[in-house]
Every structure is written in C-alpha cells, then in structure tokens.
Amino acid sequence: MIFFGASLLLILIGLYGALVKRNLIKIIIGLSIMDTGINMLIISLGFVKGGTAPIISLKSLFQKNSLLVDVSKIVDPLPQALVLTAIVIGVAVTAMALSVVIRMYSVKKSIEIDDFKELKW
Amino acid sequence: MRKIVAIVFLAIIGFYIISIFSAFQFGDKYKGVSEHYVKEGIIENRGANLVTSIVVNYRGFDTLGEVTVLFLAATGLSFLLFSCKCEREFKRIKSSLVLRTATDTLFPMILLFGAYIFIHGHLTPGGGFQGGSVIASGVMLLFLSFRSFHPNHKTLSTIEVLAGISFAGIGLLGLVYAKSFLANSVLPLGQWNRLISAGVIPLIYIAVGLKVGAELSGLISDMISTTKED
C-alpha cells in the first residue's frame, strides 16, 4: 500500500512539473519523474507478501524433489519484465526529447516555452 | 491561475487513479500466466533469473521490438541533431587531473563490469540492457575527461548491426530447428544455476548487451558533438 501511495505521489509531482513549469528541460524532468512513478506502480502490482525476488538461486524455493517452484514464495516476475521494457523506452524517449530541445534552442536561443508562439492561435 | 488549474486537474486524475486501484488487493497471490512462468519457468528454460526468461524467451518478440524502438530513437536523434547547419556555441571545458587519472584506471573495469552483467544475465539480477547501459556510462566517462575523444562511428554501427543480425538469426534458427520464432530448443538447456545453461538466452542477452552499449555510446557521442570543436 505504501508503494501505491508513493508511486501516486511521484506521478502527480511529475505531472505538476510538466504542467506548470515553463522551462523545457524542467518539463522533460517532470515527465521522467512521472515515468518512474508509473514503473513503481506497475512493479508494486506484482508484490506478494513474504515473497522474494524472482531469481531462483536457492534449492529451498523448489517444491520437494522436483524443479517445480513454490509460487507463494516468489514475487510476480511479469510486471518486472514489462517495466524493464518501459525503462529502456523511457530512456530513448528522454534522449529524443532532449535532442528536440537542442534543436529548438538553436532556432530561438531560448528554452522557455513562452518564446515559442507559432503554434498558438 | 495556471497553478490552481493544474492542481485541480491533478486532483481529478489522482481521484480516478485511487478509485481504480482501491479495489485491487496489494500483496495477494497471482494466477494465470504469471503462475505458469514462475512454476514451470525453470523446467522450460533452466534460467535462474525468471525475469530474464520472460524478457528473452516468453516475450522475446517483444524484446526484438524494443531493440528496434531504441534503434529508431538513436537514428531519429542523429537526424534531428545533424539535419541543420546550426552554429555550435558551447565549448567543452577542460577536465581536471583527478578525473583524467580516475578514468584511466576505471574505464577498463567499467567495461568488464558491463560485460559481467550481461553474460550473467540469466543467473543474477541484470541483463543485456543494464550491461549495455553500464558500458555506455564508461564511454561517457571518456567523453567527460578527454576533450578530443571521438569514437569510431563505423565500428559502433558495425557492432550494432552484427548484434542485431545475430539476435534475429538466433530467432530464425528457432524457426528452423523448433516450431516457433525465438524458441529455446536449439541448444541443450543444461543444468540449473550454471553459467552455460538456459539454451539461447545468454547468447541473445550478449547480443542485446553489445547492441545497447554501442547504441547508447553513439547517442551520447551525437549529443556531445553538438558542442564546438577546438
């Protein structure tokens, strides 16, 4: 439950930064914080009480005399695999956004969003 | 005014997120596909790290798409940065002696650590993406400490292309020798918790690690080369 609260807080902080700040770099930082919050939320969905990490390196995690794993002792690995994908995509998106900012700066010599008024009507 | 509107907006979004997840029991047992992955993942793949088994084998096609997205982002970034003949106004500053000396000793170790992470991806926490990122951070250290450092872009793109081809090639081998793309029955599975085990999973993760390392290094190099040359 505490994970849910913390990730909700992170999502809202990031969204607030993206909505209120006028500096493009700060907006991207806000989006990154939101990304982290969403990743934490997805991971916390797979949490199991008393479970350990989904790495089977101990014999005691197996059921007796077989390679079948005791499910109740392991945290759900599926959300973690999905978040692994999401983190990499997040890095790619952040790099892409920063390069757009570099390009925008080279046009107007400013990274304040108020200086870009061409798309306003 | 803007802040008040933003806070009202956030309150609405927060309310809906809470009302969606209030019905969800955190910390409960799971069923369905996750249960199958955990219960029989060792029998089917022999990889001790179940997350790696899922990322590379059960959802291997997804990972191929992810690598493609990363490649597209790197290509788009270099297109965006180099399609204009903008004047470059920032200069790279000279680094201190401490940083340069530290880089001399640390850089090989960082490379080794990255390689360790992606080779042991099926046994310990870590894998191709993490190891590749560690290698790229080593390259970034080189950029920070030596002002005139330029990586060879041909070598980087050759590594990238070869790694990508070997990933897709291992997938196609699965199509030839087993029944499905990226199937894990080309190589013998081996024993649980050994370095040489888990069939093609370590091979794929080595390819992914090299590809991600080369790609992120190229990305850093593209971003840094928008600064002025001496």
What is the residue-wise DSSP string for B156-200? HHHHHHHHHHHHHHHHHHHHHHSSSTT-S-SS----TT-SS-STT
Q: What is the pLDDT along chain B (230 residues), one digit of tens a residue?
A: 888 888 999 999 989 988 888 877 777 777 788 888 887 777 777 778 888 888 888 888 888 888 888 888 888 888 888 776 666 667 777 788 898 899 989 999 999 999 999 888 888 888 888 898 899 999 989 888 887 777 788 888 888 889 889 988 888 888 888 777 877 777 777 777 777 777 788 888 888 889 988 988 888 888 887 766 65
| Min Cα–Cα distance to chain B from A54, Å | 6
What is the residue type of B116? Y
Residues in chain A within 8 Å Cβ distance of B49 = 54-56
Q: Does A111 touch chain B (CB under 8 A)?
A: no
Residue B102 CA to residue B111 CA, distance in Å, equals 14
Contact A82, A44 (CB under 8 A): no
Top CATH class of A2-63+73-115 equals mainly alpha
CB within 8 Å: A77 and B50? yes
CB–CB of A4/A12 below 8 Å?
Answer: no
What ipTM, to 2 d.p.?
Answer: 0.79
Using the Cβ of A89 and the Cβ atoms of chain B, whether some distance falls under 8 Å is answered with yes
Question: Other CB atoms closer than 10 Å to residue B137's CB: what's the count?
Answer: 16
Distance from C-alpha of B56 to C-alpha of B207, rounded to nearest angstrom: 11
What predicted TM-score, i.e. pTM, was given to this entire model?
0.83
Among candidates B63, B80, B124 on the partner chain, residue whose Cβ is nearest the Cβ of A99? B80
Domain locations in chain B as residue ranges: 48-229
B224–chain A Cβ distance below 8 A for any pair: no
- Which amino acid type is present at position B129? F
CA A82, A54, A94, B154 torsion-angle sign = negative
